[in-house]
Structure 1
Amino acid sequence: MFYSFIFILFFFNQVKTKSIVSINREANKIIKYVNNIPNNTWKAGFNFKSKQLKEIENIMGVLPINEKYTQSLEDLGFAIHHNSNNILDKDFNEIEVLPENFDASKQWSKCKSILSVKNQSNCGSCWALSTASVFSDRICIATNGSIDNNLSGEYLLSCCTGSCGRGCNGGHPEKAWKFIINNGICTGGDYGSNEGCQPYSIAPSAVELSFENTADTPECYHTCTNPHYTTPLQNDLYFASKVYTVKPKMKPIMYEIYKNGPVVAAMKTYEDFFHYKSGIYQYKTGSSKGDHAIKLIGWGEENGMLYWLAVNTWGTLWGMDGIFKIKRGSNECGIESRISGGLPKL
């Protein structure tokens, strides 16, 4: 009996080892393929360990939408394909000329939140973290830097379940915005920061951590979870006055960022994106792994190619210290098809 147990243990360990070897081989294959494409616009390298790559689709946290979902948003009073300044399609070619390069972190340099890179860890919370991050930026911008707080993705993640989605198993950025207009959002920094009312409670992914088991969605608290923070939650809430999606075209999105600050974008992810290191990303190889929410903070042009400047939620060890560029103007990976934002109620 003892020897049978040892054999079974050995067998499963061998299967697991072979699986990891296979994943490493596939990752190396993708990286080599991307880096050997002539005149390719981006470089690939290792960002995740094999254990994480095995089940990485578990942290792609944006739930899909359909016509019924869009109608439900309209019924809730969510403005669809709206721009905050009520600019019509025909007017976009007539408005002030937008700059060729724009970086919200430089335009509004007082707002340190713009370059704050979140780490969702083994939780599909990108929909909550990106929305909270964008609203943090927009409050700072609207107040000319006088309010530069990190707002709590934790609060959205834990308290906007059901109506927003399934917590660590995914959610809808649009409904997170609707939650903010109705319920507000409190302050809260990164894991272990002791910043704000409800800091993120899920520890950053260690290199040995697998994404096979998605983290449990944190419990919703209507009090501050940070014992060092003295402001009661009810006095710490920030509300939106208007929430909306932006028309899925390049100029309206640029105009929105230029006038009001960063926006939330949902994009489709593929295997090669996990290995992004630098340059302007375009999909090259690998299977689809799900939808993911990020923050668009600007745009530019490099060697004749237009790009969006974006902030991811996978920590600073991924990409260019957590930041990436992606091809602009052709809806690369659906990056221009699902844009949302909101204006603060001051």
Structure 2
Amino acid sequence: MRLSPVSVLVAAAVVSCVAALDSRTCHRTWKGREHLHPNVYKLPPPTDDEMDEMRSLPRHLDWCERGMCTPSWNQHIPIYCGSCFAHGALASVNDRIKILHHELGWKRPDVMIGRQSFLNCAPGHGLSLGCKGGEPADVYEFMKVYGLPDETCLHYNATDYTKYITASNPNGTCPPEGFCIDCMKTPDSPETPVCFPVSSMVRYRAKKYWRLAGEHAMMKELQHGPITCGMACTNEFVFNYTAGIFRDTTNFTELDHDVEIVGYGEDEHGVKYWRARNSWGTYWGESGFFKIVRGENNLVIESDCHVMVPDVSDDKFVWDKVHPAYGGSIYGLRPYDQNQIAHIGYPLENSSDISWNNTQHYSHELLHKPKRPMPMKLGSTPTPSNAWIQLVMVALVAGAVSIVAGVVGTSFRRALYERIG
């Protein structure tokens, strides 16, 4: 079924209402994907074939129990930043890189992808709004086009591209040091430490990424590694969850957060659950993790998931024990073996080649047209007269919600800050 123009406007208005609730946990933009919002598109039940396949899969799977989980993060420090989409997306990437290294027989330290490098540089290229929200696909598209370094290039400080906005740089395009930086005394400045950009480093990329939804698709993909899923967050979940299997009873569907799903299972009473990692520190929940009922789309956690296949080909430049192509320096990677570089077949990219101060627009920025992989089940198309009434009512409701949310959200945050300050 094709969406009518009015239905598209209604979907956008629904998402606008959600956006008005600025006291929420995180920020999801739903840019170009309004038609997939859980309030608009309802998941169909699994087919008989899908049920049979789920029964054939392992009843219990946990990538952390297999030793394939990297350390956890906290998006809320040193200040609040609505970057759950980046944390959730990159947490599954970190773990999939660890799984890939293990499959390749590479005994390497854990890789933690640079969150701050993304928040500094991706918005200037049209991918996310930094601390004001985004989508997991923004993260994966940036990694596909540009790649991201690990966190040793830049520690997380919960800021974004807005610190670079000036009259001459209205897009907030990041300078080279916003991607990777070093600060120390140098031969040219022996008395005073200086900071300078590092232009050559290993960058981790996305081979491909896609969206999936539903218990069957999630379980099937989890056989290959963790995934990232959106969810709605009630106050009960945020402030009162401590341990065990969570089940929301309010039918809350305002998806506003992203988490990493690391596995699934059943408890001793046969209750099915997902095991997920949050980005609120290890002092929250079960050492930063939680369980939520599976197969019920509780808190719409089965409605909007993403998967990315990482590309670690840059690693081979520096990790070859016999013939490394590049070696490291204070200023970044430098050629070590020209013969090996020629054998590999392509040189390590230099980040200065990316037009940091004159944003190079790619097709995904200029020709963003949302794909609609699933038919929308919205019922019958409203008649023109009812459509206008519907649209006016949605607009009135959106305005009212915006006003109430602004007042309540501000009061709520002020009270909370006073409690924890």
AA in 1 matched with 2:259: I
Corresponding letter in the other structure for 1:342: M
The question of 1:266 aligning with 2:230 is answered yes
Q: Does the C-alpha gap of structure 1 residues 236 and 230 become closer, same or farther in structure 2, counting only changes over 3 Å? A: farther
Provide the residue aligned with 1:157 in structure 2.
119
Give distance in 1, aligned partners of 2:222 and 2:175.
Answer: 33
Asked whether 1:293 is paired with 2:258, we answer yes
Q: 1:185 maps to which residue?
A: 148
Deviation at 1:164, TM superposition (A): 2.6
Say how many residue pairs are matched: 253
Shift of 1:227: 3.6
| Letter paired with 1:99 | P
1:235 to 184, 198, 201: 201
When residues 93 and 164 of structure 1 are mapped into structure 2, their CA distance, relative to the original with a 3 A threshold, is farther
Distance 2:141 2:35 in 1: 14
- 1:15-49 CA-partner distances (Å, limit 9, x unpaired): xxxxxxxxxxxxxxxxxxxxxxxxxxxxxxxxxxx
For 2:327, the equivalent position in structure 1 comes to none
Q: Hey, what does 2:157 align to over in structure 1?
A: 201
Deviation at 1:285, TM superposition (A): 5.1
SS for the counterpart of 2:257 is strand
**Residues 222 and 252 (structure 1), Cα distance of their counterparts in 2 relative to 1, 3 Å cut:** same
Report how far residue 119 of structure 1 moved: 3.1
* Pair 1:225 & 2:181 matched: yes
Tell me: CA distance 1:330–1:217, structure 2 relative to 1, closer, same or farther (3 Å).
Answer: farther
Which position in structure 2 is the counterpart of 1:309? Answer: 275
Moved more, 312-321 or 218-227: 218-227
Q: 1:170 to 1:155 in 2, by over 3 A?
A: same
Please tell me the residue identity of whatever aligns with 2:91.
S
Secondary structure of 2:265's partner? strand
Instruction: Give unmatched runs, 5+ long, in structure 1.
Output: 1-54, 71-87, 189-195, 203-213
Name the aligned partner's letter for residue 266 of structure 1. G
Amino acid at match of 1:140: K
From 181, 205, 210, give the equivalent of 1:244: 210
Instruction: Describe the SS at the equivalent of 1:155.
Output: helix
Q: Mark the runs of 5 or more structure 2 residues left unpaired by the alignment.
A: 1-20, 37-46, 165-173, 185-194, 314-421
What corresponds to 1:22 in structure 2? none
**Structure 1 residue 118 displacement after superposition:** 3.1
2:282–2:288 CA contact under 8 A, matched in 1? yes
Contact 1:185 1:239 in 2 (8 A): yes
Contact 2:24 2:256 in 1 (8 A): no
Report if the CA contact (8 A) 1:241-1:343 is conserved: yes
Query: After superposition, what is the alpha-carbon deviation per residue over 1:262-308, rounded to whole angstroms, capped at 9, x for unaligned?
Result: 11111111111112111111113597775101100001111221110
The one-letter amino acid paired with 1:116 is: S
| Equivalent in the alignment of 2:362 | none
1:90 and 1:231 mapped to 2: Cα distance? 54
- SS in structure 2 at match of 1:333: helix
Aligned pairs for 1:1-346 (under 5 A) are 57-64=23-30, 67=33, 93-94=52-53, 97-107=56-66, 109=67, 111-113=68-70, 115-121=71-77, 122-144=80-102, 146-147=107-108, 148-161=110-123, 163-188=126-151, 196-202=152-158, 220-223=174-177, 224-227=180-183, 232-246=198-212, 248-259=213-224, 261-275=225-239, 276-284=241-249, 291-302=256-267, 303-345=269-311, 346=313
Alpha-carbon distance, 1:217 to partner? 5.3
Conserved in 2, the CA contact under 8 Å of 1:271 and 1:287?
A: no
In the alignment, the residues of structure 1 paired with residue 87 and residue 223 of structure 2 have an alpha-carbon distance, to the nearest angstrom, of: 22
What is the CA deviation profile of residues 52-83 of structure 1, one whole-angstrom value per residue up to 9, with x for unaligned ones? xxx9835412223565677xxxxxxxxxxxxx
CA contact (8 A) 2:143 2:206 kept: yes
In structure 2, distance between residues paired with 1:112 and 1:306 = 22
Q: Is the Cα contact below 8 Å between 2:230 and 2:255 reproduced in 1?
A: no
Distance 1:69 1:225 in 2: 40
Counterparts of 2:62 and 2:93, CA distance in 1: 17
- Kept in 2, the 8 Å contact 1:307–1:325? The answer is yes
Is 1:268–1:288's contact at 8 Å kept on the other side of the alignment? yes
Considering only aligned residues, what root-mean-square deviation do their CA atoms show, in Å? 3.3
**CA distance change for structure 1 residues 289 and 336 in 2, over 3 Å: closer, same or farther?**
closer
Q: Which amino acid aligns with 2:115?
A: G
Structure 1 SS opposite 2:137: helix
Mapped to 2, the partners of 1:317 and 1:217 lie a distance apart of 30
Instruction: Please state how far the C-alpha of 1:334 moved relative to its aligned partner.
Output: 1.1
Distance across 2 between alignment mates of 1:185 and 1:168:
18
Contact 1:157 1:168 in 2 (8 A): yes
Alpha-carbon shift at residue 131 of structure 1 (Å): 1.3
Q: Structure 1 252/286 Cα, relative in aligned 2: closer, same or farther at 3 Å?
A: closer
Amino acid at match of 1:273: F
Rounded to whole Å, the distance in 1 between the matches of 2:286 and 2:251 is: 21
Q: CA deviation at 1:161?
A: 1.2
Distance in 1 between residues matched to 2:210 and 2:266, nearest whole Å: 28
Shift of 1:187: 0.4
Classify 1:222/1:89 alpha carbon distance in 2 versus 1 (closer, same or farther; 3 Å).
farther
Q: Secondary structure at the match of 2:131?
A: helix
For 1:328 and 1:286, the matched residues in 2 are separated by 15
Identity, % of aligned positions:
28
